Structure 1
């Protein structure tokens, strides 16, 4: 009897405590893969929001497949998250835009859906409420401007890309080509603006740094007179920094004189140090921490039915060897 009385007292105490014992509703961020430091920066933003909003009824929950190459795994996680009763809203960085769109069509979620970092294709944009992240076309365009500034008369170029189904990377590549060609919508550079993409390019590396460096090695071996690389994600630099240094180090003098030009995306990990070392002409960086920090508030506004702009851009940071000490916004 004494034990029952104690249990009853404990239950009464829990009931009187009310919401403090209730599980929080989750605003969920699903990224392409947990193996990428870019997405870890998004997680840090998510956790910062949690630390500043401990009294909120919502909690930012970060998840994704173990590897950025696991497109099916990401789609399964999205499906699972949408099936949970405590999921109040979801922000997705689609590794494969079409696959995630199909997942959303089948799931037909009744909660707000937004995209983060990478968007759905324009044809599927109605499946989400807004996009929060980088203006990826502008990012690619700026990388192209730096390459064009270094080689104003044009030359041969190769783009290193990530996942062929990732909308954000495809938008960057389009912006890059448009900047070099001076035209809109060029599918492949074949002399426009003086620029030609070499055979075998673009190269898709599934966001793998080592594959990116190997692809650059192979392209340089096949095209010793190559003039430029446009790297649409920082994977070779932050994912395999020493192999990148080993490959590009012998080209340092050519990079310094803009005889050879490398423009790359992102400013994370070892990338800024690599820029200081003069092993890349320019970096155009995103703000992943800001994405992760802002996403919960945007999702909560969507839950409340408030008007949210579409898109919500988080800005860019442009870094060269001469500006790396001050180029990144904090």
Structure 2
């Protein structure tokens, strides 16, 4: 009898605990963040200021994650990637507003570091996206492994030159001190260590300057290959190759997947392009921010990946969503 009373009592206590837990936790409520201010994303260039396909797709990922996780996100930045001082000023203003977290795509590896230090002093967590900054403070870095991506571009150039004959190679880059430029060039040079590289040309992420640089490069008949390190640069290089009718003589390997780049790829003006996953980059930056603010453990480094695309594989099913994303907004 005593055991029966004990059993019934235990069952009653268990039932009370179960009911308490059932009514205290509502699905979708415990995981929501109650933020007084929006998370702020400081990008290199706004979509309105410079309609660069890469940043447009990054923003799609940011907006989708913000909607999915129920947080408000403000996106700000200069009109152009070369406006580094402007980005520093914008970041400083954002820090003064004391947001819960800042996601930063730094235009300069060194010049943004001091401002990140100020954020650290104020206790504002920082996540870096796309391009790193010279500071140990950011809690996570979400980007393409740019050295690896550069190696992919360099290896493809090696393959192209082995088929079409040896020759010198020129590198056309975007902005000298941005981490993406530094790391991609390092990867390219690592892969092309046995080749002759005539030099690196910088264009301040200006398509016209990239075009003019390429026209100058083409005056050297020994140049048989050009590696272009981002979307804007690739477009400028490809236009120069097209206008010079040099696509049979000079191999071009580029970066990214703007619609015009893919058209150049189909035409054979660009032989290959290393395509990043900008949607994933934007989405994962917000997802990681939410996880951090909830107190979850997050990875200090998230590689969003890249893939080498050629005219031969660009229409394969596995790459359709990557190359031809549908904007539902």
SS, match of residue 103 in structure 2: strand
Is contact 1:148-1:154 (8 Å) kept? no
2:289 alignment partner, SS class: helix
1:181-220 matches, within 5 Å, as 181=193, 193=194, 195-198=195-198, 201-220=199-218
Asked if 1:247 corresponds to 2:243, the answer is: yes
Q: Aligned partners of 2:183, 2:122: CA distance in 1, in Å?
A: 27
Equivalent residue in structure 2 for 1:92, among 104, 107, 113: 104
Residue correspondence of structure 1 range 106-117 to structure 2 within 5 A: 106-107=118-119, 108-117=121-130
Query: Is this contact kept in 1: 2:142–2:304, CA < 8 A?
Result: yes
Match for residue 38 of structure 1 among 29, 39, 54: 54
Matches of 1:227 and 1:88, distance apart in 2: 50
- Measured against aligned partners, the alpha-carbon deviations of 1:215-239 in whole angstroms (never above 9, x if no partner) come to 1111112x1221111111121344x
| d(CA) in 2 for partners of 1:252, 1:92 | 38
Contact 1:30/1:78 (8 A) holds in 2: yes
Residues 162 and 207 of structure 1 are in contact (CA less than 8 Å); yes or no, is this contact kept in structure 2?
Answer: yes
Residue in 1 that maps onto 2:261 = 271
How far did residue 24 of structure 1 move?
A: 5.2
Indicate the residue corresponding to 1:146 in structure 2. 156
Q: Which has the larger radius of gyration?
A: 2
Q: What are the within-5 Å matches in structure 2 for residues 1-330 of structure 1? A: 25-34=37-46, 35=50, 36-53=52-69, 56=70, 58-85=71-98, 87-107=99-119, 108-121=121-134, 124=135, 126-152=136-162, 154-181=166-193, 193=194, 195-198=195-198, 201-221=199-219, 223-238=220-235, 240=236, 243-244=239-240, 246-247=242-243, 250-254=245-249, 260-326=250-316, 327-330=319-322
Number of matched pairs: 280
SS in structure 1 at match of 2:315: coil
Equivalents in 2 of 1:313, 1:329: separation in Å?
Answer: 19
Gap regions ≥5 residues in structure 1: 1-21, 182-192, 255-259
* Equivalent-residue separation in structure 2 for 1:30 and 1:294 (angstroms): 15
How far 1:313 sits from its partner (Å)?
0.9
Contact 2:242 2:269 (C-alpha < 8 Å) held by counterparts: no
Answer yes or no: is the 8 Å Cα contact 2:129–2:142 preserved in 1: yes
RMSD: 2.1
How far apart in 2 are the matches of 1:109 and 1:207?
33
Tell me the TM-score normalised to structure 1 length.
0.79
Q: Equivalents in 1 of 2:158, 2:241: separation in Å?
A: 23
Contact 2:141/2:300 (8 A) holds in 1: yes
Contact kept? 1:49, 1:60, Cα under 8 Å: no
TM-score, normalising length from structure 2? 0.79
Shift >4 Å, 4+ stretches: none
The whole-number CA distance in structure 1 between the counterparts of 2:296 and 2:122 is 18
